[in-house]
Every structure is written in structure tokens, then in C-alpha cells.
Structure 1
């Protein structure tokens, strides 16, 4: 006998609906939460669709983790501390094996962040996962896209490009097949894809680091659509330009291990997207404090450029680099 909707919710999604400030969790028409008077509520929503945001037959554990990660990444970009979240999921059928692994992946991150699931919805349909996440930030302390200042340094957490490389591998385009053959990696194709795809799904959250970072930075964004696209949002909102040094882009060790061509590495870092790392600007006078924070939270941080007047300029070893590729857009 198939499990009912309410049995499904009770079995897999009601074990983590309590937390500080949660007056009422799952089980009623609405959840009730209390907001401390000195804080603002940050709200974000993201949807993951099979065939668009992840490949068919992706591990449900990875889906559970990544679906929450992309939302708390938005909270981190504002410097907000995760507070609670809701989940709506469409399923082709009530597959309990899928749900068990999905909830295990979801709660592996939620538990780390002490983040309660306070409500949502389940429905039958093509696999689609929507999460709304809520965070708290002290009034006036949010890191906003419009706050970049001339001469600020531009910084990146973690590395760029690996999720995009995994997507290229997954689609097995003629270009990537030729490249893998040229690099004599064709026989290892599946193992390389599996490694890169899993690592690109299990990205570290930056929430605790970002909350502390908001004391010395007032401008940030998370990198979901590629460095060029997301940096352009900051430049447009702040009415400034920037100079980026491509030799300073933080690249994953896999790029060197697989001996990927240098221009392809740059392409993945600049336009690939799906990195969910923080891109932020900061007055360089705070760099000692930034280094202390990075060490304290074990978060790699690298400066890649400077906010300037004018437009966006890309340089490599001092020479201007042309960029005309269109950043990622959903439509």
C-alpha cells in the first residue's frame, strides 16, 4: 500500500521542526515564528528542477543537501544567520527509498546549522524541489549589492569552476569528449564525472563565516550564475567598475590534476556558475581582520581584483582580456 501524503510528511519531515523562536512548527495551516526586535528577517526562495538544475538519477542524498545549500548560500551573501526553512517537493511517486535518502541529505546540512524545517507541501508531479529559507541579521548590517566602493578589494571564498566542469562532463558534448580524449582521460570519464559532480553538489556552506564577515564588509553576493554575471550585478547596483586579475582566480586542484587547458579553466571560472561561493568587496584596511576570520572559520579566501571607476576590465598578467560571452540567464 502506497504511503499517504500526511504519513509521508510525518515520517520524513517532522523530526526537525523545533528551534529558538519557533512558536509552532509543522502540523497546522501556518507555522509561527518570533523575530527579535533588533533584527531583520532575510527571506530567499529557490527551486531545483530535474533536467535543469540536476541530472536525472542524481543521488537523493545529494539533492537533499544541495537544495538547502543553494538557499542558505543566499542568506550567507546577506550576512544573515539561518533561522528556519520550508520545503515543497513534487514527486513522481512516493518512493520511500528516495525520501529516506533525500531527508538524510537535507538534515545533514540542516542539523549542522541548527536549522528547523517548519512547513511546506508535497505533491505528485515531475521531480521539483522548492525551499524558502529565512535568516536573521542585525538591522543595518546586511551586505548588499549596492554597497561596493571605489578602491575596495574584491574577494572570493573557496574555488570556482568545478560544478561547471561536472556539467560539461555530464552532457558529454563533442568538445568535452575531444578534450578528454586529447588528455588521455577518456577511459576514466565516468569516475571523473562522478567525483566532480558529487564534490560540486556537496559545497561547504559559508553561513558562520559570512555572519562574522558582515562586520567588515557591506557588499556581497553568492556566485550562482558565474563570476562575470554575479559581479556584474554588484557593479550595476553600486554604479562602479572593476579590474579582475585572471591569474588570481581560485581554481580547484582537479584542474591541475586533469591538466585542463588554461583558457578552458578561465572559462569555467568566469562563466560556469553553480559555485555557491561568496563574492564580496571590502576596504583593504580590514585585510588583517579578514585573514583572522578566514583562519578561524577555516574558509579559504583570495583577492582577485579591485573596484574602480568605469567598466569591468579583465587582465591576465597585466594584459587586457576580451570577454564577450553572455553570462548565464534562466530565460
Structure 2
């Protein structure tokens, strides 16, 4: 099976005229943004052994490869529209390709996003997706829009995906049911696209938690010229970690990657609106801290209930140091 046969068999879908003027089949796709809208464009790369384990279910890998990009659209408040796929494969395995493409397209259909092009080659298993979305001019959620006095919020619960990695890499022990829940969170994260769109006009700064809450919140601090305090007891830890000791639970929730929940900042006056939104979406939204004026020292501090700073031994996942 050559490159063009592979693309035709597993990745060629008829373009929807409302989404793409011209999709797969030419040297480039033709796309027409709607008048009065901005495009949001992002790219993510997943490398075997770095971002996922080599023995992962290919259907779940196809799902996650697109999910992490959808999460970037969610963090901007954008509606995802198109994506491209660059895929390096050690070999063209029909069973693997069938499962991978099925998992990817099922999620694409759920969010109405279309594959419009890409490339394939032989090499170490590497998946790179570029995604484009759109949103009304001037409505994007950006990392530089936090204000001193804003509340810091997170969606969902944190730490489960990192726990699944810790089981494989560090020998962390979890009961079977808890391990399965953590594995599901690692391999099938839920991109919060609907939440991201709903946050426009309510939140200012926003990002998705891919490398750990404490580390990712630093990016908002840096871009907004502020600092932040998190309250340890307010951080929502995934219930699958209930049997671990408190220190380990907090460490996983604050510094573990692959949660793909949203962290966002909003004025205190929006608390009631966010409570109503959480109920509408049936998604927990938890206030975990505050944005503060810039200070010397740590950009992000973690405090106990007495307001004392707690030690934090890691600032988040580093793609050039940590291994999956």
C-alpha cells in the first residue's frame, strides 16, 4: 500500500461544502472564513514514547490526537472547523490504521470538524495535527487578559491522567477500577469546546491544562504581567485518586499533565454566572485561587488553609526532560 492508497483508504472523506470549498485531493485545501470572524490556528505533535505509550489502543490514540487540538480551540473560545494530519508510520498496518482513523473521525464528527489535508511518510510513529477554528472578531479568550483580583477557576477534576502515567513509569499502585478510570482520562480526554465558547464574555484569560495546573497557570501570569495564589484544599482532585495519600493526590493534580481541562480567570462579579454555567453544562467549575499584582519570587504559589506557602517540587511537564 503506497502513500496515496493509504490516504484514500483511511483518511479521504468527502468535503462538506459548508466547511471546506476544497478538501483532500489537491496540493492545498481551499477554505473561506466567514465575514466578521477571526481564525484560531494551532498545531500539536504526539510522539510515541514521549506523549503516549507504544502499546496504546490505536482507536484511542486517534481520538486523543484530535482531542488535544480541540482542547486548544476550547481554550480560545473558538468553534473548530478544519484540521490537517501529518502521520509518520513505522509500517502501513491496515488494522492499526483502521482503528486509528475510526477513533479520530468519530470525535471529528461529534464536533463538526473536517479533515481537509495532510501528509504521510515512513518513520518513527509521530502524529501532528494542525487545527483551525473561528470565532467572532475580538471575542477570543487569551492568556494576556487576566486582571489582578480575578478568580482562578478550573473545570472538571485533575490528576487522573498523570496517575495513569505514574502507574506505568513510577510503579504507583492503584485499585483496578481506579486505574481504569485514570487510563480513560489519559487516553480519552474530554475537550471542553462547549465550555470555551460559553466563557466568552464571562472570562478573560484562559488556557487548557496540558502540562499541569501550576505550570500552565504560570503562562497566564507571564503573559498578563501578574502572579497567582492557589489554595491547595480547593483544587479539585479526581475521585479515582481517593485511596492515595493527600500529598501524592495534590502533587498529581497540580503538576501532572494530560488533564486537558480549562483553567481560566474571571472577575469576582461573574461567580453567579459561572455557577449557572456549571449547572447548565453539568460540568463542575471550581474556584481555586486568585490573580494578584506582579511580585518577586514565585509566579504561582500554593497555599494551605492558613495562608502559608507550601513547597511545590515541580512546575509541570517538560517535553524535553520528562518521558511518557
Which TM bucket (shorter chain)? over 0.9
Paired residue secondary structure (2:133)? strand
Q: CA deviation at 1:273?
A: 1.2
* Matching residue of 2:300: 312
How far does residue 294 in structure 1 lie from its aligned partner after superposition? 2.0
Displacement of 1:269 after TM fit?
0.9
Q: Gaps spanning 5+ residues in structure 1: where?
A: none
| 1:100 to partner: Cα distance | 0.8
In structure 2, what is the equivalent of residue 100 of structure 1? 98
Match of 2:272 in 1: 288
Contact 2:159 2:253 in 1 (8 A): yes
Shift of 1:324: 4.1
Q: Residues 174-220 of structure 1: CA distance to partner in whole angstroms, max 9, x if unpaired?
A: xx3xxx3xxxx6xx56x754542233221112111211111211210
**3-state DSSP class of the match of 2:144?**
helix
CA distance in 1, matches of 2:191, 2:224: 26
Q: Structure 1 residue 155: deviation in Å? A: 0.3
Note the C-alpha offset of 1:82: 0.3
- Long gaps (5+) in structure 2: none
- CA distance, structure 1, for counterparts of residue 218 and residue 146 of structure 2: 12
Q: Say if 2:155 and 2:284, in contact at 8 Å, map to a contact too.
A: yes
Pairing 1:46–2:50 present: no
Deviation above 4 Å: which 4+ runs of structure 1? 191-195
1:236 aligns with 2:225: no
Give the alignment partner of residue 119 of structure 1, picking from 110, 117, 120: 117
May I ask how many residue pairs the two structures share in their alignment?
Answer: 315
Matched residue, 2:162: 164
User: Matches of 2:247 and 2:278 in 1, distance apart?
Assistant: 29
3-state SS of the aligned residue for 2:54?
A: coil
Verify the 8 A CA contact 1:170 1:193 in the aligned structure 2.
no
1:129-160 deviation line (CA, Å, top 9, x unaligned): 10000010111111111111011110001111
Give the alignment's Cα RMSD to 1 decimal. Answer: 1.6
Does residue 197 in structure 1 map to residue 186 in structure 2? no
TM-score by length of 1: 0.91
Give 1:200-279 correspondences, 5 Å limit. 200-256=186-242, 259-279=243-263
Contact 1:19 1:114 in 2 (8 A): no
Structure 1 segment 31-180 matched on structure 2, within 5 A: 31-173=29-171, 176=172, 180=173
Query: Contact 2:29/2:117 (CA < 8 Å) preserved in 1?
Result: yes
CA contact (8 A) 1:18 1:118 kept: no
- Aligned equivalents of 2:170, 2:147: Cα separation in 1: 42
Q: Is the 1:62–1:198 Cα contact (8 Å) retained in structure 2? A: no
Contact 1:141–1:218 (Cα < 8 Å) also in 2? no
Q: Deviations over 1:270-295 (max 9, x none)?
A: 11111111000001211222222222
d(CA) in 2 for partners of 1:128, 1:312: 33
TM-score (structure 2 length as normaliser): 0.93
User: How far apart, in 2, do the equivalents of 1:124 and 1:273 lie?
Assistant: 29
CA contact (8 A) 1:39 1:138 kept: yes
If each structure's helix is expressed as a fraction of its own residues, which one has the higher value? 1
